[in-house]
């Protein structure tokens, strides 16, 4: 079963349209994800004041919200307002429920944001399972209670697939689960991605910036499943190319050359290197 929009076409669309992506991003990831978006072909705007949440969302083509580092009342209000604005204006928005499962407060806020109907949720396996619990979604075929260690996952992506499917069906959104194999599902189809390098888990904000890239692709493609697949391939293939470079010897150099490769990756190389499968559920 093929996708309707080929990733190799979408990377060109992204660069041609250079969409403005508003990000409510955590402090740690702001710098890196702004550079990821610029290198990939989008135009980032990092904003977090309540006073600007509505106005900036309206002039943007997509929104990305990461519950991040500062779940204070002011930030929560900005997230809620931006998400509601995006939903009401029909603009795509992506939720990154980072660290979901770590505290009761975080679980509550993530569940609140799910009610504002994100187009896409991207997290690791522990976060997706914890999110299903937080939203009191019934998960068919089990799955643990999530948990994780702080913001790091303690489970594989396959383990979180039932939770992902349940969330996708309940909220009519796309759920993307990062892991050794990445899984993207809309509840009726799953895409498996076999590109990407384990060293990404040693680079802070890798996942957080991938979420913002998902938002950028949603701005140029109205199928969220296809958009997220293209975003993962762009990011993960750039990481594969980086790992092959002789000058890359650890997470410091990987991070730097990853930005170059996001910028330089051609549409043809993306098509050539993409390792993904589409399955009906």
Interaction site with its own copies (CB under 8 A): 20, 22, 26-32, 34-35, 38-39, 43-52, 55-56, 59-60, 69-72, 74-75, 99, 102-106, 149-152, 201-205, 247, 249-253, 255-261, 263-264
Residue (250 or 277) nearer to its own copies, CB: 250
Residue nearer to its own copies on the CB measure, 109 or 229: 109
Instruction: Say if residues 236 and 36 touch (Cβ distance below 8 Å).
Output: no
For the bound state, the minimum distance from the C-beta of residue 273 to its own copies, rounded and expressed in Å, comes to 18
CB of 71 to its own copies, least distance (A): 5
Tokens standing for residue 197: 């390098």
For residues 166 and 109, what is the distance between their CA atoms, to the nearest angstrom? 19
Query: Smallest distance from the beta carbon of 147 to its own copies, in angstroms?
Result: 10
Instruction: Write a three-state SS string for 239-278.
Output: HHHHHCCCCCCCHHHHHHHHHHHHHHCCHHHHHHHCCEEE
Nearest Cα residue to 43 out of 224, 232, 212: 212
**Is the distance from CB of 65 to CB of 38 less than 8 angstroms?**
no
Which of 174, 183, 176 lies closest to 224 in space, CA to CA?
174
Least distance in Å: CB of 253 to its own copies?
Answer: 6
Q: Residue 5 or residue 106: which is nearer to its own copies going by CB?
A: 106
Beta carbon nearer to its own copies, 247 or 280: 247
Question: CB of residue 15 vs its own copies: minimum separation in angstroms?
Answer: 11
- In the bound state with its own copies, the residue whose beta carbon lies nearer, of 243 and 263, is 263
Residue 74 or 172: the one with the smaller Cβ distance to its own copies is 74
Query: Among candidates 14, 12, 22, 34, which has minimal Cα distance to 62?
Result: 22
Per the CB < 8 A criterion, the answer to whether 147 and 164 are in contact is no
Least distance between its own copies and beta carbon 252 (Å): 3
């Amino acid at each position: 079963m093929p996708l309707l929009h080929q990733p190799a076409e979408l990377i060109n669309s992204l660069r041609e349209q250079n969409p403005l992506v508003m990000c409510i991003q955590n402090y740690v990831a702001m710098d890196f994800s702004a550079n990821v978006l610029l290198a990939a072909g989008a135009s980032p705007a990092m904003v977090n004041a309540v006073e600007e949440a509505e106005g900036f969302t309206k002039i943007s083509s997509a929104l990305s919200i990461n519950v991040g580092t500062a779940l204070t009342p002011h930030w929560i209000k900005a997230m809620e307002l931006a998400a509601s604005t995006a939903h009401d204006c029909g603009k795509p928005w992506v939720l990154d429920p980072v660290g979901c499962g770590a505290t009761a407060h975080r679980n509550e806020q993530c569940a609140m944001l799910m009610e504002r109907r994100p187009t896409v949720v991207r997290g690791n396996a522990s976060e997706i399972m914890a999110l299903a619990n937080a939203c009191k979604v019934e998960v068919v075929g089990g799955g643990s209670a999530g948990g994780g260690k702080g913001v790091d996952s303690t489970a594989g992506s396959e383990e979180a697939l039932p939770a992902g499917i349940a969330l996708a069906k309940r909220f009519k959104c796309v759920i993307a689960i990062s892991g050794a194999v990445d899984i993207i599902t809309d509840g009726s189809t799953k895409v498996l991605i076999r590109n990407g390098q384990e060293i990404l888990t040693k680079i802070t904000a890798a996942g957080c910036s991938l979420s913002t890239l998902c938002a950028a692709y949603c701005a140029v493609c109205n199928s969220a499943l296809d958009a997220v697949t293209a975003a993962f391939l762009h990011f993960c293939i750039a990481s594969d190319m980086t790992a092959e470079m002789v000058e890359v010897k650890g997470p410091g150099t990987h991070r730097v050359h990853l930005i170059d490769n996001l910028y330089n990756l051609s549409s043809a190389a993306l098509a050539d290197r993409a390792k993904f499968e589409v399955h009906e559920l």
